[in-house]
Structure 1
Amino acid sequence: MKKDPKLSIAEEIMLEFAGLTGLSPARDDPRRYLWTDAFAVCNFLELYRRTGTEKYRNLAVELVNQVHNILGRHRKDDPRSGWISGLDELEGKAHPTKGGLRIGKKLNERGPGDRFDDRLEWDRDGQYYHYLTKWMHALARVSAVTGDSTYSGWAIELARTAHARFTYVPFPGGQKRMYWKMRIDLSSPLVPSMGHHDPLDGFITYSEVQASSRQSSKGALELAGEIADMARICKGKDWTTDDALGIGGLLSDAYRVAQMMSAGTFGERDLLKSLLDASRVGLDTYARTNSLRGPADYRLAFRELGLSIGLHALERLQGLIEANQDILDKKRLLLTQIAGMREYLKLIDIIEKFWLEPANREAASWTEHRDINMVMLATSLIPDGFLTLF
């Protein structure tokens, strides 16, 4: 049987990524970054599923261990040491996500007396909520593939910690809000504004990891209170965005919601329509920018590939809705919404072909973000490891 060329390319990319970042062969100072590594874990799991090669399963598990041992601990250039949770060595290893996980930026977090610099803040460490939700998702996927409930347990612990520290009530009797970025030890916010899609990320991801925990362990921990909190924060929000990565995230979220609805683990039935409505507006707006016609130097691959991944989700969503009796009450409306976006599926091929071209991967816009670009290109080529929940 002829091997899928996209699968072969994804294998090459992920093995190169493993070598470049010190995953395999292992280095004393591996380069770990939470967002990138969350997608990478899902890619290795998909390579394992598609090829049956045990090496890829082992790489996924080893990557989880490296992330926890590096991003779950204080930085080498920090006077503090040990687990950022404050747990002792033994307890920290048993509960590596209990203090959250660092982003993995090159620069240390802003000091208490340092002046805020909007541009410099992007290069400083700390904790991002939307990175933590990506890692919760990755842990749930490891649990689903390996059958080991330890990983879903860590996802639940991370969800509880993130929710407790990132959400707050601005004044007595007020509506809960969220911080966008917090200090490494989660003691205070570094950027107090709320990310546009952070509440949505939390609501959907908490629901996913709770379902994963219930499937993998009879004594599953519950996130009912956290899920209810997030539902309240999400109420009435407009999710529309013209950002490629954001649109892709909405489409991926729509597919996650539909999968949970079909499994009977998600009760907010109106959210799927809202996500598709927002995605359609965003796609129409993004298409008018003609940004995919520019040269590589003026484009950000990981943002475009995020859109491509989301469009792969849209393809799968249509089949799921057509086959699923549990979504019959809105089936015709949902399929009409999807039909209105099918013209944009051609962007998948446009984006993937552009970034598979070697000359375009020599541009500074690629090389400056090489790790994340590589991993998200691989995800777009073999998206099911990231997109499929069950």
Structure 2
Amino acid sequence: MVSAIYRLPLIISLLAVGFYCVFLARQPWILRTVARRIRNLTLSELFAGKQTLGRMWSEPPDPMRTKYAEQLMQNFASRTGISSTDKEPTRYLWTDSFAVCNFLALNQPEQALATIDSVHRTLTRERSFNKFLGTASEDHPTLGGLRIGKKLNERQVNEHFDERLEWDRDGQYFHYLTKWMFALDQVAGKLDKPVLNVWARELAEVAHSKFVYSRSGMEKRMYWKMSVDLSRPLVASQGHHDPLDGMITAMQLQNSAEQLGVDKEGPMLENVVADYQSMIQRGDFATADPLGLGGLLLDAYRVFRLRICGREVISSSGTDARIATCKVLLEKLLQASLTGVKMFAEDFDAKEPAGRRLAFREIGLSRGLRVISSIRFSEEASGDGEKTSIEALIQLRTFDYLREEIESFWMNEKHQQSGTYKEHQDINDVMLATTLIPRGLLN
């Protein structure tokens, strides 16, 4: 009888808590308000160490997340012919670039190297696989660039341009090439394979020579998509972040070459960096596209990492000017990211059905938010002209709820059965694994 008396208040309390949780779930603005109220509490998390600038911090691995990501990557490797020799390899450059990084994060170096080998046996060659692209060879596989990996052949010279159909046609994308450069460089550093950095720099040089152009008396610009043999543009408009991506990637490759002791081998990229730098001076980086935002956040992280390594944007105005330029670039990237995340958050509907959403685009933002959270400033930096960047980072942390909502939504097996998810399963699975185990993107 006594136990029954105590049981009733307990049941009532549990029901009250349950109703309150349901209420909060239906009123996400309350959670966002609370997040903004506590943003100043995250300030201490952004300070670490006694260095003048700061350091990167990596979130401890979560066993459940790691196991889930490992299963995603195991299925991907089997499905696309990386770990299964009886299957025709189905390579796609963007997806494979992040797959390489995921295998590094999972401490599976053999799979990372097997992916690189499969990509180079497939996408550095013509669609018949019989001939290398351009002047590429076994010893220098990236000299002709890499195909996207689309199912349809590229548009021929005499074919009419169809904007919708162009998305499904092969060719070369600059922003896919930079992702492959990044992946090669990550493996070069983590597995002590310097030749991969040389291949990445060779790819950077050929991509710059084919995608960057200028007409007489006009500023330099970039093509968005080139033919498989890099002889003609397929889409002449410039990608929003392509010059920025090219500059930061080239800087990273040069920095890694020096650390790996191969800076005397392969091309030097100072002129490449300078060209891209001239193009971004007039650029506005802000975007509300979640995939573009994720890339922008990753770029901000890479600029921060380069500053810690002591490398700055190349300039002819002396060391002080170079440092200021890189500091300003980091501020611009963080501010643009913050502006974009705010715009995205205003329109984001977490209750939107899976069939009306694209997982890999949303997960791109989730990945960027997770990567940017690894930045830590030293206490000295708060008084050393870094306040704008620190404030932007603090505000970006208040949007961590977006990351959690996106990840939990797409980890739901019911949502993975939607047509939009299954249609792009390879890229969706790999991107989901990347945001769950981003260590492969970090140094």
Judge same fold: TM > 0.5, yes or no.
yes
The aligned counterpart of 1:339 is 394
Quote the offset at 1:28 in angstroms: 5.3
2:354 matches 1:296:
yes
Equivalent position of 2:71 in the other structure: 12
1:271 aligns with 2:329: yes
How do 1:1-390 residues align onto structure 2 when only pairs under 5 Å count? 4-27=63-86, 29-48=88-107, 56-76=108-128, 81-87=130-136, 92-169=137-214, 171-218=215-262, 219-220=264-265, 221-267=267-313, 268-317=326-375, 319=376, 321-322=377-378, 329-386=384-441, 388=442, 390=443
CA apart distance, 1:292: 3.1
Q: Is the 8 A contact 2:174 2:207 kept in 1?
A: yes
- 1:18-72 alpha-carbon deviations (Å, 9 max, x no partner): 0000100224520000000000000001111xxxxxxx10110011011011000
Other structure's SS at 1:206 match: helix
Q: Greater CA radius of gyration, 1 or 2?
A: 2
Contact 2:172/2:228 (8 A) holds in 1? yes
Aligned residues: 369
Instruction: Determine the structure 2 residue equivalent to 1:53.
Output: none
1:302–1:376 Cα contact (<8 Å) kept: yes
**Residue deviations 1:61-104 (CA, integer Å, cap 9, x gap):** 0110110110000002xxx94001245xxxx1101000000000
1:254-295 Cα offsets, whole Å, 9 max, x none, are 111001101112232210000011111111111111243300
**1:384, 1:158 → 2: CA distance?**
24
Superposed CA RMSD: 1.6
The DSSP-based 3-state class of the residue aligned with 2:156 is coil
Q: 3-state SS of the aligned residue for 2:421?
A: helix
Q: Which has the higher mean CA deviation after the structures are superposed, 273-282 or 25-34?
A: 25-34
Contact 1:242/1:282 (8 A) holds in 2: yes
One-letter code of the match for 1:292?
Answer: A
Q: Displacement, 1:301?
A: 0.4
**Contact preservation (8 Å) 1:98, 1:158:** yes
**Offset at residue 3 of structure 1 (A):** 6.8
How much does 1:337 deviate? 1.2
Q: CA deviation at 1:236?
A: 2.1
Distance of 1:351 and 1:383 partners within structure 2: 15
Distance 1:291 1:239 in 2: 24
* Residue identity in the other structure for 2:334: L
Distance 1:217 1:82 in 2: 32
Gap change, CA 1:334 and 1:118, over 3 Å in 2: same
Q: Quote the Cα distance in structure 2 between the aligned partners of 1:113 and 1:74.
A: 20
Q: Does structure 2 conserve the Cα–Cα contact (< 8 Å) formed by 1:302 and 1:377?
A: yes
Unaligned segments of structure 2, at least 5 residues: 1-60, 314-325
- For residues 93 and 275 of structure 1, what CA distance do their matches in structure 2 show? 38
Q: How much does 1:300 deviate?
A: 0.4
Question: How many angstroms does 1:328 deviate by?
Answer: 5.9
CA distance in 1 between counterparts of 2:66 and 2:75 reads 14
- Higher relative contact order structure (alpha carbons within 8 Å, sequence separation ≥ 6): 2
The answer to which of 335-344 and 129-138 deviates more is 335-344
Partner Cα separation in structure 1 for residue 381 and residue 94 of structure 2: 33
Aligned equivalents of 1:174 and 1:360: distance in 2?
49
Q: Which residue of 1 aligns with 2:48?
A: none
CA contact (8 A) 1:305 1:380 kept: yes
Q: 1:331 Cα deviation (Å)?
A: 2.6
8 Å Cα contact 1:160/1:223 also seen in 2: yes
- C-alpha contact 1:155 1:209 (8 A) present in aligned 2: yes
Report which stretch shifted further, 135-144 or 20-29. Answer: 20-29
Alpha-carbon distance in 2 for matches of 1:185, 1:333 = 44
- TM-score norm. by structure 1 comes to 0.92
Contact 1:262/1:326 (8 A) holds in 2? no
